[in-house]
A and B are shown apart, each in its own frame.
Chain A
């Protein structure tokens, strides 16, 4: 058995990001494959051979992803874009939740300065946000946090991979968004 080929076929067929835990379940007794190392080898091959695919770590697991350059063709193949449309208020609430999770609705509202109930409801329906528990304080308000879907849609491995909140002075300049961080995996 060739580890590279095994991991490659699993990635090729798996509809979900592949994790070491999942791989261990798949392997027969006595077999042992280090997923991370194998992925690195595969990615080196892909890069060397200039392939149209690349393996990235999304939401705690590995996924075989197509090269962004060809997205328009895939879009035509599916007749649908993968893009999720979110309104600005929804995005704002989502970013507040992503950075400050777990937090209550009131905390989101105090930052946005507007009522956010319906926006949070939309985010929950879209499975981007979920209830993570209850606040210890008075009223035991619900605490919200982001989901696995959130990580997958925004191409993040973990919430800690979110770009750092921009320094205030940079914000005031209203400069262009730096993109280098966005391409990291």
Chain B
């Protein structure tokens, strides 16, 4: 049983990059693309482990980062008109700056609202009384990436457990062949379902199926079906 929690898409790839830039106090105009790409991929991997839906936009950004990284390794071929070397990071930097600008203005809006919401006008008690509480607001200060960083550290710092042996259920094809043969003790044929009912674990089903195939190959049994979707019978070959 696993829980599935669906959250509004909180943070995107740009948030993740800004998170690194902020955390490591990087210069946004001179992003160490190799390091940040590495970090980015590590974090998205962790998100995958946590079963957080890593959307297409994360993958797109990953490929963009790798493309920039590759371009930076190559000797600069393209120059713009005034002879200045075109930095492959330019587009990304601009996107980051624009996004950061709006993140800031979002905070400012919040401030403005907080100030204004302290001033009441006639009728306010009516228009604001029926307002539903937005639960997502309560988690707005928790960054997903903070959690992921913590999770990553947790995994990396996990002590090595003393390895101990687990005795797996012994099951192999030849053993299952014997089991199948036992079905023929009293009868000439039996149905596939009959056989299936005796199998409990997934492994057992797979191995038994392999045993059936093996017996079919060696000509020991025959498999018949009277029509599409009807019962499949296993017969002892003549």
Contact = CB atoms under 8 A, between A and B. Distances in A.
B128 A82 contact: yes
Interface string B106-119: 11111111111111
B112 A155 contact: yes
B115 A183 contact: yes
Interface string A90-131: 111011101100000000000111111011001000000000
Secondary structure of the B contact surface, majority rule: helix
A115 B12 CA distance: 9
Interface string A48-62: 000000101010000
Interface string B47-67: 000000001010001000000
Contact of A111 (B8, B22, B99): B99
A112 B12 contact: yes
A15 interface: yes
A177 B108 contact: yes
Contacts of B137: 85-87
Interface in B72-125: 95, 97-125
Q: How large is the interface on A (under 10, 10 to 19, 20 to 34, 35 or more residues)?
A: 35 or more
B158 to A, nearest CB: 31
B134 A86 contact: yes
Interface in A69-91: 71, 74, 77-78, 80-91
A168 B129 contact: no
Contact of A114 (B55, B124, B125): B55
Contact of B122 (A14, A122, A183): A14
B164 interface: no
Contact of B134 (A77, A87, A154, A174): A87
A47 interface: no
A59 to B, nearest CB: 11
Nearest to A178: B108
A87 B122 contact: no
A50 B75 CA distance: 70
Among A63, A66, A154, chain B packs the most CB atoms within 10 A around the CB of: A154
Given A87-B140, A94-B106, A95-B105, A63 B121 contact: yes
Contact of A81 (B13, B101, B117, B122): B117
Interface residues of B, number: 52
Contacts of B106: 88, 91-92, 94-95
Given A14-B122, A115-B55, A115-B57, A84 B113 contact: yes
A63 B124 CA distance: 11
B28 interface: yes
A172 B27 CA distance: 9
Contacts of A183: 115
Contacts of A86: 110, 134, 137
B133 interface: yes
B167 interface: no
Contacts of A66: 119-121
A116 B106 CA distance: 15
A12 B101 contact: no
Contacts of A95: 102, 105-106, 108-109
A83 B103 CA distance: 20
A163 interface: yes
A85 to B, nearest CB: 4
B122 A12 contact: yes
A171 B109 contact: no
Contact of B113 (A13, A15, A87, A155): A155
Given A119-B8, A154-B116, 11 more contacts: A15-B126, A63-B122, A64-B121, A64-B122, A78-B129, A82-B117, A82-B124, A85-B134, A86-B110, A99-B102, A155-B115
* 9 closest residue pairs by CB, A with B: A155-B116, A15-B123, A114-B12, A68-B118, A85-B137, A71-B118, A113-B14, A65-B119, A87-B136
8 contacts: A74-B120, A83-B113, A88-B106, A94-B109, A98-B105, A155-B115, A168-B101, A171-B100
